[in-house]
Amino acid sequence: MENNKKIIANNENLLLDKPKNKTKLNKDHSKIITLFLINLKRVIVNKGIIAMACLFLIFSFIFTISISSNFNSSDLAIIIVKFIVQTFFFVIFLTLLINDLFKKQMTDGVQIIEIRSGIKLKNSFIMRFLLYILIAFVICFANMIITMILKPGVLFSTSISSKVLWSTIFFYFMFTIIWAPILIAINISLGAAGSVVLNIFIGTIMIFTQLISTFLIQTFTNNYNYQVTMSPSWTTRIKMSYDFYTTFKGDELVKGWFDDKFMTIISENVNNSYQNAKEGTDEDNYSDTNELNYVFSFDKWASLLNNSYNSNKPSASKESSLLFNLFAGRVNYAVNYVDTPLRLLENTKIFNLMNSVFEVVNKNFLSNDNRAPYDNANKKAFFENGGSNDIDLKKFINYLKTQNELKNYINLFDWILNTYNNYSESIDSAFQTLYSITLQTLQLTYLKSSDWRSYIEYDSENEKWINYNNRVGEVYNRYPELILINYMVLNNFTNSVKIDVNNGNSLSEILNANDSSSTETNLILTLNPFTHFISLFTNSFTDPITNDLYQASYNFAWIGPRKPIINTSELSDFDSKNRSGDISPIYENYTPEYKSLFSITGTYIFYLLFSIFLDYMAYLIFKKVSRV
């Protein structure tokens, strides 16, 4: 207590004893600088403030180091716990900081000294506010540096998880500004102890109401389960394939894909694969060697995802071989081999690209001069057993762009790379966690085995056939990028020419429900402040569409889509159940309409403007309670 009196006395002398030959403006400027340094010194030696800042940073270290390099459901759970714990200690830190800069100095008599020395109340308030911002920002920067040191690989990548981490960092800078007027107004209106308790209590309420409100919304909102499992999936599917179609409908090499005799050619290839089957072939390898009238149709295309491919021992059949090609990207395996290999998509226009890419890689498989980079050798695509989304396509795509045989496809390769980078993490998250109906929406299959013998009926005595397919398997094992490129091309091509569901429900009913549920979340997301802060904490830099699918899969604090497509019902006219003949683009007369339900930027702007208003109100209170 005696030391505090000495500090106050010294401060008074510093503020009052200024050289008289300076102008009044210089004197005021000098006094404010002196007062700023005095208060900075007070804060630095405040043990309570230092302790809370250290706890905040210690928990930052613990939670950051606990996050894996590849985000999954447990990592987003860590992020939510990080929000609760770190924000709690940050609120206490800010509360003690404000208390030291405002109430404590008023009760210690520092405010009297300032007024006597001629410092205006406005300047005194601004100086304290800026000092509060400076000190809090230093701790926020320390939090950022911890994350940069511990997780540079994640933080400086282009993944959604990187954007989530940056959001958690940025949030505390903005929260410092937004929460300040509430802390100041309460602090200067009540006693020191009472204001500290109330500010911590309000901060705690803010933190936990984010989760409680989310839980209540998830429990009582109509069709919430549908929003989680379906709306982001339909938006992602349509956005990707619509972009694919509009980008390449005028491309000379690609536009022919959309009006090809695709299903007719596949039907012929399926029948040809059986026509040359040997008599007496092992029954385990051939199911029906006499069926030569197979017709591939929209209905059969839609039903492929419901077949028995998910069993532990897939049974090879026409359907499984179609699935292996159309949904798993294995387009170069032969379904028959007489003089030359017969591939299931042979003679379709889209096959030309995928086969050209395969042949370039295969031709240089053993070359030392022009061999494709194989950094991802033996990795598995995310839709395979044991697969993940950590395959980087960039080096492989860049290699393809340098090959003369593929130079006309450079724009397509760039599109594949950008789209894969934007969506692969989200699609993988949906694949790992969501329901089978959602996987059908995204046109995803799951391969428990990647052995071609499990899917393609073959002649066990035909060595050329077996050797050829084994060779194809070697190429695919070394270059899983081929499978992913085929998947990106086939998936978006497929979704550009057909739309269907095969779960016993009407496509029209599903799409109408999708539009309805997307609209219902509008007021919930926009007007409910009890969910805003958790959204700002995790979503400040994420793209609404890719992030909706990503966080719908993993984040139990997610409450609905931020930017859904709201006119998906218009696509019900193209239901595969009502179509016949061959393919045609479904997007010729359709344009998706997006509705922004929750804007991160708009929310921050609103809170910042509201904070400025509250800052002014806090200043008026400060002015009223200041005393001489």
Contacts 24+ apart (CB under 8 A), 5-11: 7/42, 8/108, 8/109, 8/110, 8/113, 11/35, 11/38, 11/110, 11/113
Residue 343 lies in a domain: yes
Tokens 């009890």, residue? 530
pLDDT in the model for residue 353: 93
Contact between residue 363 and residue 371 where contact means Cβ atoms under 8 Å apart: no
Going from the C-alpha of 237 to that of each of 433, 573, 622, the distances in angstroms are: 17, 17, 55
Quote the distance between the C-alpha of residue 162 and its chain's center: 9
> Does 470 lie in the same domain as 429?
yes
- Look at residues 475, 443, 459 and name the one whose alpha carbon lies nearest to residue 275: 459
- Distance of alpha carbon 418 from alpha carbon 421, whole angstroms: 5
pLDDT in the model for residue 279: 42
Q: What is the pLDDT of residues 108-117, one digit of tens each?
A: 777 777 777 7
**Both tokens of residue 27?**
């004197």
Strand segments, DSSP code E, in 478-621 are none
Contact between residue 372 and residue 405 where contact means Cβ atoms under 8 Å apart: no
> Does 213 lie in the same domain as 230?
no
- Distance of alpha carbon 487 from alpha carbon 475, whole angstroms: 16
> Does 236 lie in the same domain as 256?
no
> Does 530 lie in the same domain as 389?
no
Domain coverage including residue 618: 24-220+605-626
> Does 135 lie in the same domain as 163?
yes
- Among residues 433, 468, 497, the one where a domain terminates is 497
3-state secondary structure of 4: helix
DSSP secondary structure string for all residues of 192-223: HHHHHHHHHHHHHHHHHHHHHHHHHHHHHSTT
- Distance of alpha carbon 67 from alpha carbon 496, whole angstroms: 38
Q: What is the pLDDT of residues 545-586, one digit of tens each?
A: 888 888 776 656 666 778 889 899 999 989 888 888 889 999
Exposure b/e, 543-560, CB count within 10 A at least 16 = b: bbbbbbbbbbbbbebbbb
Ramachandran region, residue 347 (left: φ > 0; alpha: ψ -120 to 50; beta: rest) = left
How buried is 404 (Cβ within 10 angstroms: 0-12 exposed, 13-18 middle, 19+ buried)? Answer: exposed
pLDDT in the model for residue 24: 54
- Distance of alpha carbon 317 from alpha carbon 286, whole angstroms: 7
End-to-end CA distance of the chain: 22
In single-letter form, the type of residue at position 597 comes to: L
pLDDT in the model for residue 43: 79
**Residues listed for the chain:** 628
pLDDT in the model for residue 433: 66
3-state secondary structure of 283: coil
Return averaged pLDDT per consecutive 10 residues of the chain, 628 residues in all: 49 48 58 75 85 95 86 78 95 94 79 73 86 95 95 83 91 95 91 91 90 72 60 89 95 90 92 62 46 81 67 66 88 92 94 94 87 86 71 92 93 94 82 63 76 87 93 93 93 92 76 77 67 87 84 66 88 88 90 87 92 92 76
pTM: 0.84
Q: What is the pLDDT of residues 432-466, one digit of tens each?
A: 665 555 667 777 777 777 889 888 888 888 999 99
- Look at residues 515, 517, 502 and name the one whose alpha carbon lies nearest to residue 568: 515
> Does 389 lie in the same domain as 298?
yes
Q: How many CB atoms lie within 10 A of CB 11?
A: 23
> Does 237 lie in the same domain as 213?
no
Residue 5 lies in a domain: no
> Does 372 lie in the same domain as 413?
yes
> Does 154 lie in the same domain as 267?
no
The strand pairing partners of 210, in sequence order, are none
